[in-house]
Amino acid sequence: MTYPKTRCPALFITAPGSNHGKTTITAAIARYHVNQGCKVRVFKSGPDFLDPMILERACGLPVYQLDLWLMGESECRRLLYEAALEADLILIEGVMGLFDGEPCCADLAELLAVPVLAVINATGTAQTLGAIAYGLANYRPKLLFSGILANNVASQRHDEMIRQGIPSELCYFGQIPRDSRFVLPERHLGLVQAEEINDLDTRILAAATAIASTGLACLPEAVEFIKPKPSTPPQLLCGIRIGIARDPAFSFIYAANLDLLRAMGATLRFFSPLADTKLPEVDSIYLPGGYPELHLNVLQDNLTMKAALQMHFRQGKPIYAECGGFLYMLESIIDKAGHSGEMIGLLPGHAIMQDRLTGLGYQSAPMSAGVLRSHTFHHSLIETPLIPLAFGERLHNTSAGEAIYRLKRLTASYLHCYFASNPEAAAELFLP
């Protein structure tokens, strides 16, 4: 059986590794073409939450993750096909280096037949940049390689030296100069959230202006996107009202998770644990991850919200808490400076922020109705007497998986679950 196809210009932005400027360049390309009147859809490869916030500001439309392990090939194809039906340009930002991880960005780009643009940080190199580009272009012969963009170029002479080293068969799109106006601020989990950067639009516009003098000012060639076999999610949440925390303390949530909850019949109602004094009228609560440790005093002092969540729990209504939402359910959070904030206290124990990464990687999360694929990334440790209901199973089984806790109808873990990997298991988390 054949399925419908559509074509749209598309580019996969990658690099030899992290810290080459992929997010800045992807945002700049997106904003440049939006300013030319194009409708640009942007995607982020991998499970990241922070880069999509920046990219969403750049293109003005929701940014979804693409991840072969979390969601599978069919879901990746569906998201891209639907985007191609409405967009003038599709951009996919990679994660880490082009060939890093299993599956890696090259696997996704090759599967989708989307040409790859290599963004290479030119700091500390000149003609050798061409050798790096040549390796990226030829390491996997079946990969479609569009060309190279040199980033952080110090001067016109630096650009000339880079050009000398570019093999003649490779396309050099040009250079982006080293400029502090383009730099995006970072903190312990990655980039600072978009809404916290007061001059973000100015930074993106400055970078977009630089794109005008490169070959990326032209739209790339069109790529054919195929609609996968259609599937209809089960209508398991009809009539269920789900309250979802959404503010600067709780913002790490997959847009596709919200889409699936709606598709299964749920009504979504958003609230802010930072600003609101009561919950909306809901049957279940979803507390996503984020940065509660940066808002200890406000969360601690919002006594009416704490009381509302405690009452919701006592009434036997479901609560699902991921990572930062999990920390919020504990008795307290202690930040890296040693300051403590009293949290909801529905789970016994305390979260202690660390100076280094303490959890990272893909895991399968066993839930009551089946396994949800998930990812973890955090800088805290938990001290609790509570016995876990289960543990996540790491994709590469390098160490013990994250604990999953269940107390009455409260389910909590460090794991960020991708609901479309098992809609039935996701629905069970919210059913009264």
Q: Is the CB of residue 151 less than 8 Å from the CB of residue 176?
A: yes
The catalytic residue positions are 323
Question: Domain 5-226 carries which CATH code?
Answer: 3.40.50.300
185 has pLDDT over 80 = no
Do 5-226 and 241-428 agree at the fold level? yes
Query: What's the Cα-to-Cα distance from 215 to each of 104, 118, 173, 212, 305, rounded to whole Å?
Result: 27, 13, 5, 8, 52
In angstroms, the CA 413 to CA 432 distance is: 20
CATH superfamily to which 241-428 belongs:
Class I glutamine amidotransferase (GATase) domain (3.40.50.880)
Query: In this model, does residue 117 exceed pLDDT 80?
Result: yes
Task: Tell me the pLDDT tens digit for each residue of 389-417.
Answer: 999 999 877 677 999 999 999 999 999 99
pLDDT of 353 higher than 90: yes
What tokens does 77 get?
């194809």
* Whether the predicted pLDDT of 190 surpasses 70: no
State residue 78's pLDDT score: 95
Over the range 32-54, which residues count as b (16 or more CB within 10 Å of their CB) and which as e? bbbeeeeebbbbbbbbbbbbbbb
Give the pLDDT confidence score for residue 189 in this predicted structure: 54
pTM of the model: 0.93
Q: What pLDDT, on a 0 to 100 scale, did the predictor assign at position 320?
A: 98
Q: Where are the domains of the chain?
A: 5-226, 241-428
Residue range 219-252, pLDDT digits in tens = 999 999 998 888 889 999 999 999 999 999 999 9
205: helix, strand or coil = helix
pLDDT at 356: 87
Which residues, at least 6 apart from 330, have a Cβ–Cβ distance to it below 8 Å? 343, 344, 345, 347, 348, 349, 350, 351, 382, 384
pLDDT in tens, 135-171: 999 999 999 999 999 999 999 999 999 999 999 999 9
Question: Contact 27/53 with Cβ under 8 angstroms?
Answer: no
